[in-house]
Amino acid sequence: MPPRDPPVAPILCDKAYGAASEFTPDSLLREARRQRGLGAGRVPALCVLDPDGDIVRHLRATGVARPDPDWACYHTDLFRFERDGREVGIVGCAVGAPFAVLVAEQMFAAGCELLISVTSSGQITPSRAPPYFILIEAALRDEGTSYHYLAPADFAQAPADLVAAIAPALSGIGEPVERGMTWTTDAPYRETRQAIEAASARGILAVEMEAAALYAFAQARGKAVLCFAHVTNQMGQAGDFEKGEANGATAALRLVAAAAAAQFARR
């Protein structure tokens, strides 16, 4: 028998990147509103994804955040708060690429104009002691969601205009902010030594679980999304996961405020 062609992973098959989806976030929001008797409220122009949930917990514990009564997601709660005179919407604990993009799609369908994700991450390149932030300029696509939005490639890129506009405004937030690449994985408990060394050889700074998918969504849909990694650990090797004051929430809120001010000042 002649040799068979190498198998192709199903995730790379039968994609039509320019075609519209039969199931849309607008449809989901419409039906959720109908079933729950919700109003067609709009989310704030600035929204935040908080995969760890520490920012949301801090805002609620300090009495700053209030639930959005019209958020029509089946899976999450959205909270509103004010920062520097600007209203912000935030969803916590949407961890991992599929969940983050599901929520991002719904946020933009409901009126979001700028989405900032701040996720904790593990250090790959030991440039300094944690904690510190990374403005993610590109993310290695070692997850599944991005391949439903963009054709195969090694990296998903941040929107260049956002990086250029926001990066200069981040020097005064009280915690270092580096710029560079991360590795997005769906399997944090499969971060093997071989995989870590391969990421390090590419010049990757840290590993996280959302950025590649969010950037692929942003490029495919023409949306403004910017991802930050909060490097808080060295993969549990010793004395790890110390995020700083309020589990990193206060520094993350300063980061969000500075980034938003720089972006909305362009208008």
Structural domains in the chain? 44-247 (3.40.50.1580)
- Tens-place pLDDT, residues 94-122: 999 999 999 999 999 999 999 999 999 99
What pTM was computed for the model? 0.95
What integer is the mean pLDDT of 218-226?
A: 98
Listed residue (115, 155, 149) closest to 217, CA to CA: 149
Has residue 200 got a pLDDT over 80?
A: yes
Q: What is the pLDDT of residue 245?
A: 87
Has residue 255 got a pLDDT over 60?
A: yes
Q: Please tell me the distance from the alpha carbon of residue 54 to that of residue 61, in angstroms, as a whole number.
A: 10
Backbone phi, psi, residue 57, to 5°: -60, -40
Has residue 241 got a pLDDT over 80?
A: no
Q: Please tell me the distance from the alpha carbon of residue 37 to that of residue 236, in angstroms, as a whole number.
A: 45
**What proportion of the chain, given as a percentage, has pLDDT over 90?**
88
Q: Which residues contact 204 (CB under 8 A, 6 or more apart)?
A: 124, 125, 140, 180, 181, 182, 183
What integer is the mean pLDDT of 238-264?
A: 89
**What proportion of the chain, given as a percentage, has pLDDT over 70?**
97
